[in-house]
Amino acid sequence: MAITVVGSVAFDTIETPAGKRERCLGGAATYFSLSASFFTDVRVIAVVGEDFGRRQEAVFQARNIDTRGIEHTAGKSFFWEGSYLDNLNEAKTHNTELNVFATFNPKIPDAYRDSEFLFLANIDPVLQRRVREQMPDVKLTAGDTMNYWIKDHRPALLEVLKGLDILLINDTEARMLAGNNNLVQAAREVMALGPKTLVVKHGEYGATLFRDSTPKSRGAELRAPAMPLEEVVDPTGAGDSFAGGFFGYLASQPEQSPAAFRRAMFYGSVMGSFACERFGTERMQKLTRPEIDERFNLFRELTHLV
Amino acid sequence: MAITVVGSVAFDTIETPAGKRERCLGGAATYFSLSASFFTDVRVIAVVGEDFGRRQEAVFQARNIDTRGIEHTAGKSFFWEGSYLDNLNEAKTHNTELNVFATFNPKIPDAYRDSEFLFLANIDPVLQRRVREQMPDVKLTAGDTMNYWIKDHRPALLEVLKGLDILLINDTEARMLAGNNNLVQAAREVMALGPKTLVVKHGEYGATLFRDSTPKSRGAELRAPAMPLEEVVDPTGAGDSFAGGFFGYLASQPEQSPAAFRRAMFYGSVMGSFACERFGTERMQKLTRPEIDERFNLFRELTHLV
């Protein structure tokens, strides 16, 4: 079943200990779409400027991603510049230019309206809510956010959370959103704000799935590992790729059963691990489904007793 | 099969967000012994002062731990004072008094000499080596160390590593020991120094098992979770309790097969999680084997796909 995703399609300049790339294709919606496209049909809503041309469009086309919802407008695309020189787990932002994103007003193409799954990537919660309200009949809505919106746009974010089935955030964000340093308590408090499912990503240590149906004695529903990687070339987009694998797999299933949620966590981790292996979307562009399944099996070996 | 452990038996004053305890029984060998005693026979080598009396002795007796190797001498026992007020993952040391430990010269009782398993808890590597050399016929030797020895006593530590089959350390220690920030690369470099098995503990994110027999494509042998705890009362001794569960389980098995190593990781995590639930050794003293097995099963549910 098809996923509609709204979020940024952007250009990134990235520096890591492995090197530097200037203005490569990036943005949360880009990483999410590429990742989810290995599992199901994906439709993107975003805005780009005149610097987004055929070469960028071709990256989406190659994965059969529906780009009719990408609005082309005068000006430059969203631009981000950051580095991970001291710490591969945390980006240092050097520059953010909203450009055409500053006046973005998401429009949903008619062809997208039968999407049963909706992903609200990390953008202004006001825009997230606007999209959510225009698609009242979706079966399952997931979303992401970040420290900036949690800290300075809390009321708008709280409105978005009410409309989410699943929230995917990292450790720091979960603790900040709940104002509680204990992850189990923080998770329960976040779920009380709306989303009945919470995925907390721990970077190189994997991710935890919390569901409000989990017995209290158990603390969490599932702990999924991350791939122990020999080299992390570029962690940009790992979280969005995780979300794409997680939500893409869920959308591909006839039923979103508890077992499907557990496997979705593993697929999320798998896709996040691939994203780190090359700069920008390079690895995602060359990835194949057999490689994904091979790594999924490896994750099983990495975690299961025999 | 019996384990001989050498390490500190001490008094700790601990402050955490959950409260404060003055001079409770502690020390790496204490936590290790209590934890391992649920799986196999344990024999302790340590030194204590006149402040170690019947009440402390009784804690060991209640778990049938052999204390004939605990030397009683004039003076005060090793004392540590620390807090975890800002960060439950990292102790802030306020005071360390070596006391009788300053002149400790480990002596191995004859009754201990048939031990097939040896654990060198975190003490001066010169002492660790001295004990290792006095027990040349053990079947399996494991050990722990810390940042202080890695930084300032490297040559002595490197000698110890040559005699270890298994090293258990945390993330920061592994990266520091190898001088490499990538965990997979650091693990390989540490294993090249002697121990063919390396357990890296990630605190609340679990632990990773590295073995030099693991195929390179896989990065690690196993990732074990930590229990998502509603409340961490006191993390003191969690690492030593992990080691006790891990090594105790291994020693209880007829064969130290790859599958036994994997289950040992889960038992390590299980014991580490219990240690955090009460101050000092309180939880370990009241623990039962059925509780351990119940949590082991819960860890399986927390990690396995269905």
Structure confidence by residue, pLDDT tens digits, A115-132: 999 999 999 999 999 999
How far is residue B110 from each of residues B115, B118, B143, B218, measured CA to CA in Å?
10, 15, 22, 44
Mean pLDDT (chain A) is 96
Give the rounded percent of residues in chain B with a pLDDT score beyond 90.
96
* Tokens found for residue A84: 């991970």
* pLDDT at B192 exceeding the cut of 90: yes
CB contact under 8 A, B298 and A218: yes
Residue B167 binned pLDDT confidence (cut-offs 50, 70, 90): very high
CB contact under 8 A, A304 and B304: yes
* pLDDT tens profile B237-276: 999 999 999 999 999 999 999 999 999 999 999 999 999 9
Predicted pLDDT of residue B261: 98
Question: Residue B231: its chain A contacts at CB < 8 A?
Answer: 182, 185
Predicted pLDDT of residue A25: 98
* pLDDT at B306 exceeding the cut of 80: no
CB contact under 8 A, B223 and A185: no
Residue B132 binned pLDDT confidence (cut-offs 50, 70, 90): very high
* pLDDT at A259 exceeding the cut of 80: yes
Give the rounded percent of residues in chain B with a pLDDT score beyond 70.
100
Nearest to A305 among B216, B300, B306 (CB): B300
B250 CA: distance to closest CA in chain A (Å): 15
* pLDDT at A306 exceeding the cut of 80: no
Question: Residue B235: its chain A contacts at CB < 8 A?
Answer: none
CB contact under 8 A, B184 and A228: yes
Question: Residue B305: its chain A contacts at CB < 8 A?
Answer: 259, 262-263, 266, 300, 304
**CA A284/CA A256 separation, integer angstroms:** 25
| Distance in Å from the first CA to the final CA of chain B | 35
Residue A296 binned pLDDT confidence (cut-offs 50, 70, 90): very high
Three-state SS sequence of chain A: CCEEEECCCEEEEEEECCEEEEEEEECHHHHHHHHHCCCCCEEEEEEECCCCCHHHHHHHHCCCCEEEEEEECCCCCEEEEEECCCCCCCCEEEEEECHHHHHCCCCCCHHHCCCCEEEECCCCHHHHHHHHHHCCCCCEEEEECCHHHHHHCHHHHHHHHHCCCEEEEEHHHHHHHHCCCCHHHHHHHHHCCCCCEEEEECHHHCEEEEECCCCHHHCCCEEECCCCCCCCCCCCCHHHHHHHHHHHHHHHCCCCCHHHHHHHHHHHHHHHHHHCCCCCCHHHHHCCHHHHHHHHHHHHHHHCCC
Nearest to B219 among A88, A183, A229 (CB): A229
What is the arithmetic mean of pLDDT over A210-226? Answer: 93
Question: Residue A221: its chain B contacts at CB < 8 A?
Answer: 302
Interface of B with A (CB under 8 A): 88, 181-185, 202, 204-206, 208, 216-223, 225-232, 259, 262-263, 266, 298, 300-306
* pLDDT tens profile A10-61: 999 999 999 999 999 999 999 999 999 999 999 999 999 999 999 999 999 9
What is the arithmetic mean of pLDDT over B176-184? Answer: 95
B281 CA: distance to closest CA in chain A (Å): 22
Predicted pLDDT of residue A201: 97
Residue A87 binned pLDDT confidence (cut-offs 50, 70, 90): confident
Nearest to B206 among A223, A262, A263 (CB): A223
ipTM value greater than 0.95: no
CB contact under 8 A, B230 and A220: no
Question: Residue B219: its chain A contacts at CB < 8 A?
Answer: 227-230, 302
Question: Residue A273: its chain B contacts at CB < 8 A?
Answer: none
Predicted pLDDT of residue B89: 82
CB contact under 8 A, B230 and A202: no
